[in-house]
Amino acid sequence: MTAGRGSIEAPLALLAELTHRCPLHCPYCSNPTALTGPGAELDTATWARVFREAAALGCLQVHLSGGEPTARRDIVALVAAASAAGLYTNLITAGVLLDAAKLAALAAAGLDHVQLSVQDAEPASADRIGGYAGGHARKLAAARLVTEAGLPLTLNAVVHRQNLDRLPALIALALDLGAGRLEVAHVQYYGWALANRDALLPGRDQLEAATRTVEAARRALSGRLVIDYVVPDYHAARPKSCMGGWGRRFLAVSPAGRVLPCHAAESLPGFDFPDVRQVSLRQAWEDSGAFARFRGTGWMPPPCRGCDRAEVDWGGCRCQAFALTGDAAATDPACAFSPHHALLASAVATAAASGEGFTYREPRRQP
């Protein structure tokens, strides 16, 4: 399927970042360090139009995210609008604002799936990482409400140096809560996570032990629990295919209405990202210079140009390239052939010698 313009394929999914508001203060939050205030958020009617345009463009699913999407008073109406547009609806939530009444209303509105984040398996550590006292207990209660309502549950465990040794307990927690899927997602270093990299980045020995744990659990739990595993690029020799390639299979809309090829792209300077208040989602996807800039392989510098993996990893991550080198068009330093590859080993060494204190999201509200 194409999106109607040459060889541009239709996006498979829309990430709808409904708000940057969140009661948690996670130090690895993927939101930009400059957060959008409530007064600048898209209204209900505009989001409903975006959902209809996403379906018409070819999207099959919408991930309702934030911040914390349930902080919006119109979250039930937004789920209903996405469902009415024909999109599979996935709520990505911290769970701390969910109760039985709200979940019942969301299910009645057409919610298809819940992805619930946890910070650790150990309550005190989880509450410290999330910066929210009692948050872990609220999350467990929310998870049980989800499964009691008959909705599929994915547990999203964001892992890093300060909780990775408890990965076996996180796997056991997913089973106990009745999750059908567990996403073991190593922190990706953008936004607040980049600011806290020295406190979060694991060493190679810790990473390899975690990988062995995941592989063993996949064998032992086949048919009971699907485990997705997202590793950090800082120990890699080849970059990942970030979002399936820039502007190829995925798009995001920020709380303020900017249309992005990935949720972290606002960190890149020199881009004029389209605004859904001014253009349609199709115009943004097909005609935007920002989306065309790194789409495909024609933009690639050596050694990416001509590489036999060019149409496998699509040059890796542009946001990571910028974060580490200051140049969004540079070869992703995760590639061993990048002239900047040594930056990753340097970052790992620096992190190993660092402490565990955090700069929390929304520093003025640190716990």
Q: Which residues are annotated as a binding site?
A: 22, 26, 29
Instruction: Report the binding-site residues for [4Fe-4S] cluster.
Output: 22, 26, 29
Strands (DSSP E) along the chain, which ranges?
2-5, 8-9, 13-17, 61-65, 88-93, 113-118, 153-159, 181-186, 226-230, 250-253, 259-260
Residues 6+ apart with CB under 8 A from 110: 79, 80, 82, 83, 84, 89
State the virtual CA torsion across 341, 343, 345, 350 in degrees, nearest 10. Answer: -170
Degrees, nearest 5: CA angle 308-324-347: 105
Neighbours of 11 (CB within 10 A): 23
Cross-strand partners of 14: 62, 251
Q: Could you give the CA distance from residue 344 to residue 349 in angstroms, rounded to a whole number?
A: 9
Q: Which token pair is 170?
A: 């996180």
Q: Could you give the CA distance from residue 332 to residue 338 in angstroms, rounded to a whole number?
A: 7
Q: Could you give the CA distance from residue 247 to residue 5 in angstroms, rounded to a whole number?
A: 13
Q: Are 31 and 190 in contact (CB under 8 A)?
A: no
Q: Which token pair is 177?
A: 């809560």
Q: Which token pair is 242?
A: 């970030």
Q: Could you give the CA distance from residue 19 to residue 103 in angstroms, rounded to a whole number?
A: 19
Degrees, nearest 5: CA angle 25-262-189: 50
Q: Are 121 and 173 in contact (CB under 8 A)?
A: yes
Task: End-to-end CA distance of the chain: give it in Å, rounded.
Answer: 49
Please, what's the largest Cα pairwise distance for the chain?
56
Q: Which residue has the tokens 């629990």?
A: 225
State the virtual CA torsion across 176, 177, 181, 185 in degrees, nearest 10. Answer: -90
Q: Could you give the CA distance from residue 291 to residue 285 in angstroms, rounded to a whole number?
A: 7
